[in-house]
Amino acid sequence: MASYNELERTPQEKAAILLIAMGKDYSAKIFKQLSEEEIEQLTLEIANVRRVDTSTQQEIINEFHEAYIAQNYIMEGGIDYARDILNQAIGQQRAYELIGKLTSSLQVRPFDFARKLDATQLLNMIQNEQPQTIALVLSYLDARQAGSVLSALPQEIQSDVLAKIARMGKTSPEHIKEVERILEKKLSSAGVSDYTKVGGIQTSVDILNSVDRGTEKHILESLSDMNKELVDEIKSRMFLFEDIVNLNRVSIQRVLKDVAQPDLVLALKGVKSHVADFIFENMSKRLQEMIREDMSITGPVRLRDVEEAQQRIVTIIRNLEEAGEVVILRGSEEELIG
């Protein structure tokens, strides 16, 4: 058992202490996954945290780690499965307490059964459903699994499914229940009375980043005829300036030939050191010296100017990729060998 009184700290306070203990870089990554309201609440909690001793930090980290492991067991095999494993790992009493905490607030994501199927099984189950139904199911899957299914769907409905994912907002639990009933499965989050937000632009981006290049190109071309603004927004999020490190050496050197030097100076003002190092490593020493000198004499610049310069470079990269002149390595692809 933890040596501090757990009742003295709220879950929000513990989350704030955990983020502080994790450090700025990891905390920033977590913040990117939260809503504005959650960020505001956590920021306030962090600001109110006073000195916390190392042992308390470690106890909260351990508590989070135990809860994370327990929740994974629950998602993998259910409450009984998790309890059996935790009984052996941390003892019956602690397992009882941990499972009790989780099950009192745990909401298992809908379509949990679908995440346990391989792409072929899942495709066979949903391919004859309406695009809206397929979009709903794919929105609840991880991006790679959803991408595999999307790639295997008939081409004539791929763009329609992605468009519906992108436009999807809040879906009532009653509708989700009906879809799961049609698919002859029970809704794993039965009894939840609020609305669950799924889908959206970022979900579409994540899925498209997981499909093969041919499928991506076909979907975006088809979707452009239906909604060009939506395609432009999706494209703007599919490749961020920091993703430039996913270019191979030949590709980054090709890109740099088309980038205006003033844009490169501005763009490098707002990047992490490993991104800047990657770009500098692919320049001549003379160009490196010129860029560094320009950066030093430019002085402070507006964030908006930096972002606009980065976006112009991203546009160059996307255009070169579409022309087949550069290769962007994706998470599911292996690096090419010449």
Segment 100-142, tens digit of pLDDT: 665 544 455 677 667 666 677 778 778 778 888 888 888 888 7
Judge if 213 and 259 occupy the same domain: no
The pLDDT-based confidence of 56 (bands split at 50, 70, 90) is confident
Say which residue, 20 or 35, is predicted with more confidence.
20
Q: What's the structural domain count of the chain?
A: 3
Percentage of the chain modeled with pLDDT above 70: 73
Tell me the C-alpha distance between 31 and 34, whole Å.
5
Residues for the chain: how many in total?
338
Instruction: Give the contacts of 41 (CB within 8 A, at least 6 positions apart).
Output: 12
**How distant, in Å, are the alpha carbons of 56, 66, 105 from that of 17?**
9, 16, 21
| Most confident of the ranges 75-79, 196-200, 275-279 | 275-279
pLDDT score of 250: 92
Amino acid in position 151:
S
Instruction: Give the contacts of 49 (CB within 8 A, at least 6 positions apart).
Output: 13, 16, 17, 20
Q: Is residue 328 part of a domain?
A: no
pLDDT score of 117: 67
* Domain end marker among 236, 267, 287: 236
pLDDT score of 226: 80
Judge if 244 and 229 occupy the same domain: no
Instruction: Give the contacts of 332 (CB within 8 A, at least 6 positions apart).
Output: 144, 147, 210
pLDDT at 263 over 90: yes
**Least trusted range by pLDDT, from 40-54, 185-199, 215-229, 315-329:** 185-199
Judge if 151 and 222 occupy the same domain: yes
Q: Is residue 332 part of a domain?
A: no
pLDDT at 188 over 80: no
Torsion angle, alpha carbons of 253, 254, 258, 261, to 10: 0
pLDDT score of 5: 43
3-state secondary structure (DSSP) of residue 61: helix
3-state secondary structure (DSSP) of residue 287: helix
Q: How many other CB atoms are found less than 10 A from the CB of residue 280?
A: 14
Q: Is residue 336 part of a domain?
A: no
> What's the chain's average pLDDT?
76
Judge if 248 and 232 occupy the same domain: no
* Domain end marker among 105, 138, 158: 105
Tell me the C-alpha distance between 42 and 35, whole Å.
11
pLDDT score of 264: 93
Q: Enumerate the H helices of the chain as residue ranges.
A: 11-22, 24-31, 36-48, 54-77, 79-90, 92-105, 119-126, 131-139, 143-152, 155-167, 173-182, 201-208, 213-226, 228-238, 249-258, 261-268, 273-281, 285-298, 303-322
Could you list the residue range(s) of the whole structural domain that residue 59 is in?
A: 6-105
Judge if 130 and 191 occupy the same domain: yes
Judge if 262 and 299 occupy the same domain: yes
Tell me the C-alpha distance between 261 and 238, whole Å.
24
pLDDT at 336 over 50: no
pLDDT score of 215: 75
CATH of the domain at 202: 1.10.220.30
Q: Is residue 197 part of a domain?
A: yes
Judge if 231 and 184 occupy the same domain: yes
pLDDT score of 186: 37
Token code pair at residue 248:
């191979």
Judge if 170 and 196 occupy the same domain: yes
| Most confident of the ranges 16-20, 64-68, 120-124, 196-200 | 16-20
pLDDT score of 337: 39
**CA nearest to 15, candidates 32, 30, 35:** 30
pLDDT at 255 over 90: yes
Judge if 226 and 245 occupy the same domain: no
Q: Is residue 337 part of a domain?
A: no
| Most confident of the ranges 19-28, 29-38, 327-336 | 19-28
**Least trusted range by pLDDT, from 62-66, 92-96, 259-263:** 92-96
Judge if 118 and 98 occupy the same domain: no
3-state secondary structure (DSSP) of residue 54: helix
pLDDT score of 72: 64
Contact 126, 134 (CB under 8 A): yes
* Strand pairing category for 170-171 and 196-197: antiparallel
* Domain end marker among 77, 105, 133: 105
pLDDT at 338 over 90: no
Percentage of the chain modeled with pLDDT above 90: 12
**CA nearest to 122, candidates 147, 159, 156:** 147
Judge if 67 and 129 occupy the same domain: no
Judge if 59 and 141 occupy the same domain: no
